[in-house]
Amino acid sequence: MSEPVGVVCERAASELDALAAALPGADAHAAAQAAHVLRAPVRIQIAGRAGVGRTTLARVLGTRRDAHVEVAAPVDAPGAPDPVLDAEVVVYVFVDGVRDADRAALRKLDPAGAITVLGKVDTMPDRAAADAAADACRADVGIPGFALDARGAGTSAERHESGFSAVAAAVDVRVRRALAARGARIVRELRARAVASRAGRDALESFVAGDSAVELEAADARGAFDTDALGRGSVGDEPYDDGTADAALRQAAWWRARDASARSAADAIVRQRVRLWMHRIAPAPSVRVRGR
Ligand SMILES: Nc1nc2c(ncn2[C@@H]2O[C@H](COP(=O)(O)OP(=O)(O)OP(=O)(O)O)[C@@H](O)[C@H]2O)c(=O)[nH]1
Ligand SMILES: [Mg+2]
């Protein structure tokens, strides 16, 4: 199985720390900066008009190590400018349908990093009505939507019933996707820097050709195929990974056969699967202490 993307980010950041310590000048600075970005928590903004339940949802989402939840200023507040919704993940809450001010705010969002939540559904006649209303919002704005009773999401038993589990899972997928996108962007930037750098070329090239960089680009590419399969689980009828070298090779072949429109994303995944196959047929020797 591939590792969780957060684990790969941390490993890549440690490799970049070592580069920062070894390289001179601007390359050291770039490596240190890249490590910093990889470790920064993903920003999640909870947005919507005043009183829709933003603060309550932020509270039930709680704190997590890899993300920072903030409540955006209310949208469409009289006399105040609309907030800038520029976080990597935006959770947009409504209560009574989508209004023009919501549409205007939602149009500016990247749908890949956004979800909508129809809140306070406990005030609706029944759950079916709430789900239908959430579906209508989804159809209206083209962003995945969920129905939620944030006040009923206290205990773990209530989390499924209240709709909170589905919201939390959707947020989780987008946090992982944001981490993968960051990682892939950093790999691209450092690849470009390696070409231009004299002193740092070899070290930077070995980072961008290394396992962590290959994993990050593959994790980002998987997001293009299925938002729920960021390096874990499988996509469509992708062969099952039973942890053997053969499985990694079967997966590489499956990805190689993806259609040409998705070629470069599939190539990133093929590269990572072939790398996995190589590790499995010839595991890296464990470190031996001399004299033992
Ligand atoms: N019935 C019900 N009430 C809710 C729910 N979520 C929030 N509320 C209530 O709605 C009111 C507003 O909730 P907040 O979380 O403060 O909403 P907000 O968007 O942060 O509001 P402002 O910061 O005042 O603009 C509070 O009285 C909450 O208890 C919900 O899922 N169901
Ligand atoms: Mg509030």
Q: Note down the domain range covering 50.
A: 42-171
Residue 34 sits in the same domain as residue 71: no
Query: Ligand 1: residues within 6 Å at CB?
Result: 50-56, 74, 119-120, 122-123, 149-151
| CA 275 – CA 249 distance, rounded (Å) | 9
User: How buried is residue 78: exposed, middle or buried, by Cβ count under 10 Å (0-12/13-18/19+)?
Assistant: exposed
Q: How much is the pLDDT for 167?
A: 92
Separation of CA 248 and ligand 2 centre (Å): 48
Average pLDDT over residues 87-104: 91
Domain presence at residue 192: no
pLDDT tens profile 262-289:
677 778 888 888 888 888 888 766 554 4
Give me the mean pLDDT over the 39-45 stretch: 96
> Within a 10 A sphere around the Cβ of 195, how many other Cβ atoms?
9
The preferred substitution site among 45, 56, 102, 148 for testing ligand 1, maximizing ligand atoms within 8 Å of CB, is: 56
The verdict on 24 and 124 lying in the same domain is no
The answer to whether position 234 is within a domain reads yes
248: number of CA atoms within 13 Å, CB side?
Answer: 17
92 band by pLDDT with thresholds 50, 70 and 90: very high
Q: Does 131 fall in a domain?
A: yes
Do 49 and 35 share a domain, yes or no?
no
Q: Which amino acid is at 196?
A: A
The total number of structural domains that make up the chain = 2
Does pLDDT of 230 surpass 50? no
Q: What is the pTM of this model?
A: 0.84
In a domain, 259, yes or no: yes
- Single out the residue of 56, 59, 58, 51 nearest to residue 76, CA to CA: 51
- Average pLDDT value over all residues in the chain: 87
The one-letter amino acid code at 187 reads: V
Q: Is residue 233 part of a domain?
A: yes
